[in-house]
Structure 1
Amino acid sequence: MQCIEFFTYASALQWGVRVDGTDLRVHAADATREPWRLENQDDTTPEEREEFLFSQHAGLTQDELGDPARHFLGEGGPGLLRATTGAVAVLGCSCGIWECWPLLTHITVTPETVEWSGFRQPYRPTWGELPMGPYVFPRAAYENALAHPVHLAGDPLTALPHRTQQAAGDGRAIRGDRQDGTDRSLSEWPR
């Protein structure tokens, strides 16, 4: 089973998720890297592609979620549950309008577990189910994490996670390092 951590950040009180210590946005970036590569054969640099992958999603705001406990137990906040598929948005678009680019999953609750499976991008049906999960969490630990989110001053994903050259697809290492060894924030990457 996996471990889950819920956290809130920013003045809009956005809700984020870590699975086994890794931000869900990193899992989504890894799962969408190949479909995006196939779809976007353009002039962007490997660094720009990585920046895009890691900045495509943001957490859902408290206002969007309504009751976070009900939402993350599969009932979906106002408008965040797709009636036709039963999928629930667990991340929204980084532009601030969650509906632009949500990450959807099915949340299945049993007396012992909570499972997230069938991750999809609704605006890319040809991608099918994304290669992430299923994530299965002990229900008691899940509910405890949901009841006690970690409160952060800012978005914890402000620098690109360290990536190897293989992830970039061109043999070069992709890192957000400055020459002094510290990571650059996403805002410092060239646009």
Structure 2
Amino acid sequence: MAGPYASRPVKASDPAVAPSGILLAHLASPAAALRQVLAAHAVRACAHIVEIGGAGLPITGFLTHRPQTVTVIDPKIPDFSAEMLNGAPCRLRHRAAKLQEVEIAPIGPYALVLLGLSLKPFGRRGATPPELLALAAGAEVLVIDYALDLERAQGQIGALTATRPAPPNIDLALTINDEALRAAGFDRRRFLVFGPA
């Protein structure tokens, strides 16, 4: 298995490791993986983790603790399930689906991770449906990363942060000095953690 702070997706050929999916070119550098490292640290005390997004670089390969459940939902990630993670029992599920197609019912207190916030509408369902806002409001820990220059993210961040009763524990401005991220216009980022950190 890849180390706890792997900078690339782990090999899908390893049966004990979840396949990562399509890694977008602007997220292929070790510097871009810093977001997953930070998110994994922020959720290290959480028994249940839900990530929306993460195709190509899901949080699963960056977790160093032993959660009870991990669910990753993204249309670009291969379906995958396992019953072990980091040498301990864990109900691990990667779902190749749009957020609006999946009913999410976390067990117990949970963390919600939204790295690279850039949700899209699906059919008649908006990009930030009421179910997502309820998940954000109910999360013990909410982690959001987004590109400051991505208009779609700018239109979604306000609704998500409005679900929280207190300001973020962590509010980082990041500039990832990577040519591919810079060319895509995604090098300037904001990283937020609400709840325990």
TM-score (norm 1): 0.29
Q: Larger % of helix: which?
A: 1
Greater RCO between the two (CA within 8 Å, min separation 6)? Answer: 1
Rg larger for:
1
TM-score (norm 2): 0.29
